[in-house]
Amino acid sequence: METIYSCLRDAHDQDLLWIAALVCVTGVYASISLARHASRVEGNSRKAWAAVAIVSSACTAWATHMVGLLAFQPGMQAGFDPLLTLMSLLLTIIGISASMGTAIGSRNRLRRAGAGLLLGLSIALLHYLGQAAYLVTGRVTWNVQLVALSLAWSLPLFAAAMVLSGDKRNSLRHLAGPLILSAIALLHFAGMAALELTFDPRISLPESALPPDVVAPIVAAVCAALVVLAFMGLRFALAARAQAIRDRSRLKQLADLAVEGLAICRDGTIDAVNGSLATLVGCSQQDLKGRTLSSLLPDTPLSKLSEHQEQDGELFTNDGTRVPVRLLRKIVKIGNVDQTVVAIRDQRERLRTEQRMRTLAFTDALTGLANRLQFNQILSANCEKANATEERFALLLLDLDRFKFVNDTFGHAMGDELLKRVARRLSACCGSTTSIARLGGDEFAIIVDEELAQDTAETIIDVLGRPYLIDGSIMDIAASVGIAIGPADGSNPSVLSRSADLALYTAKHAGGSVYRRFEREMRERAQARRQLELDLRRALVREEFEVHYQPQVDPGDGRFQGAEALVRWRHPERGMVPPADFIPLAEEIGLISPLGEWVLRTACEQATGWPSHLTVAVNLSPVQLRDSALAARVMQILQDTGLPGSRLELEITETALLQDEETTYNTLHALRAMGIRISMDDFGTGYSSLSYLRRFPFSKIKIDRSFVRQVPEDQESVAIIQALTSLAAKLNMTVTVEGVETAEQRAFTVSEGCNQIQGYLISRPIESVSIRALFNEPLQSVA
Amino acid sequence: MPLYRLLYRSEIALNGSKDQIDHQIDQIVSASEQSNHLSGLTGALIASGGVFIQALEGPLGALEATFEKICLDLRHKRVNLIELAAAEERIFPEWSMIRVAQGAQMIEICTVVGVRESGRLDTSTTSALVSLMRNILLTKSAGSLDNEVAAGASAAIRLPDR
Ligand SMILES: Cc1cc2nc3c(=O)[nH]c(=O)nc-3n(C[C@H](O)[C@H](O)[C@H](O)COP(=O)(O)O)c2cc1C
């Protein structure tokens, strides 16, 4: 050490030594920056710049060494062997290339250490060859021990430097440069100190030796070239940095544009975040920098995050709320460094939308109650539970009486408001554990414990029947309730619903505002009804209907005036079915129109076979009367059958007049214009509104049989018949009394001046063949 | 804003001893008083012989909303609207809600109204009924029951037999 130090102090020109150091630093910088540049560019220029970097590094080593030699003051004349000097440079270039070639792209430490040794060797070679090229006028002796020592110390340093330069850790990588510099310095100065020169005038420099004056400019030129290269390197580095900054800001802009939150992390610490994440967390991007990722995602360790599949997590925001998020981790190379990017997507909006869609799908938009879909699920669940535990529950189906009327009269908006209030009242009637649903229209369903069923039904009927005051109108509706008990009345939803439905049907038929529990007979009755319905639908095609006729006579002289046509159904198995059993059903299932038309046509046809002064009376149902095409149809039938309109009488009941007065009015007048007479049937049983008699063109009133039954004993009945007869006379109408069964009754009608009678006293309804025979008898009367 | 008045009858559906029921009715009245005060309604409530009769008057919107709440109430049954009609002036301007004290007249009114459990009464009958309610309130507060006033009014509302 002592020798090295004294050699440095005494044997060197201090200024030149500084220059050597400067050249070394400049050259190293040039080499490194050019090498970096090479790594940034691509293709051929990459190779070219790599070569330049290698040559420049070799030149650096060489020039440093040469300046060092020039700085050496051996105290005698010195010169340089040109060949060896050149060789030292070339060998260094080759050595460094080989070393770099070995090291590049490899992280293998052994290999890098090998490359380091190679580098050390080539620099050592440069050194000792260079020294061998240094000629003096004296004797040269080597301190072999020092040479060996210099190699033994510097070579491991080179190896270590190469290994470090390939390390992942920045701090260690930065150690590589100084290490190489110190290795070079060690090699150089130890080498110089190992050299002992003894002046010997007998030894002269060979001819070929180049004096320092010649070598110095060459070295200076190389140094100048290195400076130029260093500048180029600097420019490249600056340009690259500017580019990197541009890239980064563009990347940042892009990241900030992203809807997802992005966090770039290193070792679990946040390096940078985009705007979205900062907004999501509720602070600035700057605030998030340096925080740990686990402070945002405490439940999701970074290592648990998948690189391929999104997973759910919870983000803790600054105000303490937990935001449901989807998370994805990606390792991304940013610059040259691998970094972890965590993508964080806010799920609140999506979850809200999903929730809204679920709500929409499962609730009735108008009332907010459960809808049919949800109710079916609830009912299924209840059925399953009931089957498993034998725990019974009640299904209540309810239906509003008169709702349709309100809806039609007051409009849909009012109907909707009413439904909303009904829903609210239902909720008030039932406990919070009860499930209430609107199945559609004015149908609701409720599930309650079995023991509460009847009370609940009663309460519902009471509460829903209370008046509704809406915008100054009073609305009265009522509810009918059908109750079925699961699993007794049905162990699956469809059977149970069907049972409740049958109970509801029965409740409605009982007049409404009542509840009914399901009973087995209901099923049988419904079955029978369904069968009858099927039979009825087929009956028209199978020609099972017949028209029977009940003659009408003048009570005074007993002469025939005509007959009332009455429909009969001859069922193939049951025989004659009474009209009361099938006419309401035909009305309900929409069969009354075709049936009525068939009766009309048949009656007209058969009446043409009667003496021409006799009339035929046919009943019209309310449904037929509501049809605005009725008049045209009747006209067609008259034409087809050839019956004059004056021989046809159409009987209508008061209830038929209640609906749609306008159409009815027009139809009746059109019929009247064809000469057809219109009679008011069953007068005295319904509203018996006298205004109808005035408004519509009736030519006849038929007094209901119930009044005649009690004449002449019952004073009230007598009075009514008397009043009606005189009223009819004043209104220019005739009067027919139905249901005359006794001679006394007939006498009474005669005395009261009734125009026509009909009843068992004369004849019960008989088949068409019989009536024809009766009418064609020569006597023509029943006296 | 036009004034409306409604009158309804219902059956008391409260459980407990006589005193307990009385207490619950007082609670209904005091709660109604507060809520009616806010919505600009006035009126009076009779609770007698197992029957409530209530008169409520005020703007239509508030009247309808409160009546709907009353219809949601399970503390009475068979709510029967006797009348809803426009009114010239308030008959109970000084009371948001007040309980008409029990008395022979009240029971009589109840039975008279009870004659027609369903269906609405005509306006003259109901105004007589409401005036009677007021008279009883006033006489009560004056300290003595003016029998003649009450009898006269109750005669006025006696319905013709059907
Ligand atoms: C007979 C009877 C009369 C009532 N009268 C009124 C009334 O005049 N005003 C009122 O606000 N509530 C009245 N209520 C109470 C309502 O039914 C209901 O309980 C109350 O308005 C609830 O108010 P809230 O929903 O604002 O708490 C009455 C209740 C009963 C049983």
Beta-carbon count within 10 A of A208 CB: 11
What are the chain A neighbours of B84 within 8 Å (beta carbons)?
Answer: 469, 474
Max avg pLDDT among A185-189, A306-310, A369-373, A401-405: A369-373
Indicate yes or no: CB of A472 within 8 angstroms of CB of B60.
yes
Indicate yes or no: CB of A470 within 8 angstroms of CB of B64.
yes
Residue A220 burial (C-beta neighbours within 10 Å; 0-12, 13-18, 19+) = middle
For residue A166, is pLDDT > 90?
no
Beta carbons within 8 Å of A86's beta carbon, 6+ residues apart: none
Whole-number pLDDT of residue A677: 94
Q: Which domains does chain B have, with CATH numbers?
A: 3-156 (3.30.70.100)
For residue A170, is pLDDT > 80?
no
Q: Residue A428's closest chain B neighbor by CA?
A: B72
The question of whether A752 is a catalytic residue gets the answer no
* Atom of ligand 1 minimally distant from the CA of B72: 17
* pLDDT-above-70 percentage for chain A: 97
Whether the CB of B42 sits within 6 Å of ligand 1: no
A743-774 pLDDT, tens digit each: 999 999 999 889 999 999 989 999 999 999 99
A190-232 pLDDT, tens digit each: 877 887 777 777 777 787 788 888 888 888 888 888 888 888 8
* Lookup: tokens for A119: 């580098």
Scanning B3-62 for CB atoms below 8 A from A yields 4, 6, 8, 60
Helix (H) or strand (E) holding A628: none
Q: Give nearest CA residue, ligand 1 atom 6.
A: B32
- 0.90 exceeded by the pTM? no
Nearest one of A15, A17, A127 to A61, comparing CA atoms: A127
Beta-carbon count within 10 A of A628 CB: 14
Residues counted in chain A: 783
Q: Which domains does chain A have, with CATH numbers?
A: 2-237 (no CATH), 259-351 (3.30.450.20), 363-518 (3.30.70.270), 531-775 (3.20.20.450)
Nearest one of A650, A637, A646, A651 to A614, comparing CA atoms: A646
Compute φ and ψ for A269, nearest 5 degrees. -105, 140
The Cα A437–Cα A456 span in angstroms is 15
Residue range A505-511: average pLDDT?
90
* Atom of ligand 1 minimally distant from the CA of B35: 11
Nearest one of A302, A301, A296 to A315, comparing CA atoms: A296
The Cα A496–Cα A491 span in angstroms is 7
Residue B25 burial (C-beta neighbours within 10 Å; 0-12, 13-18, 19+) = middle
Whether the CB of B66 sits within 6 Å of ligand 1: yes
Q: How much distance in Å is there from the Cα of B66 to the middle of ligand 1?
A: 7
The Cα A499–Cα A487 span in angstroms is 11
Task: Ligand 1 pocket test: pick from B32, B38, B48 the residue with the most ligand atoms within 8 Å of its Cβ.
Answer: B32
Which alpha helices (DSSP H) does A561-643 contain, by range? 579-588, 592-607, 622-626, 630-641
Beta carbons within 8 Å of A345's beta carbon, 6+ residues apart: A259, A260, A261, A310, A325, A326, A327
B84 at interface of A, judged by CB pairs closer than 8 A: yes
- Which among A459, A463, A469 has the least Cβ separation from residue B64? A469
Give the ipTM: 0.88
Q: What is the 3-state secondary structure (H, E, C) of A422-453?
A: HHHHHHHHCCCCCEEEEEECCEEEEEEEHHHH
Q: Quick one: residue A191, left, alpha or beta (phi over 0 = left, psi -120 to 50 = alpha)?
A: alpha
Whether the CB of B52 sits within 6 Å of ligand 1: yes
What are the chain A neighbours of B78 within 8 Å (beta carbons)?
Answer: 462
pLDDT in tens, chain B (162 residues): 789 999 998 999 999 999 999 999 999 999 999 999 999 999 999 888 888 989 999 999 999 999 999 999 999 999 988 889 899 899 999 999 999 876 556 656 656 665 555 556 667 777 777 887 888 888 765 544 455 455 555 555 544 433
The Cα A102–Cα A79 span in angstroms is 36
3-state secondary structure of A314: strand
Helix (H) or strand (E) holding A42: none
Indicate yes or no: CB of B74 within 8 angstroms of CB of A466.
no
CB < 8 Å & 24+ apart, contacts of A330-336: A331/A307, A332/A264, A334/A251, A334/A264, A335/A244
Indicate yes or no: CB of A474 within 8 angstroms of CB of B84.
yes
Indicate yes or no: CB of A429 within 8 angstroms of CB of B67.
no
A263-293 pLDDT, tens digit each: 888 878 888 888 888 888 888 888 888 888 8
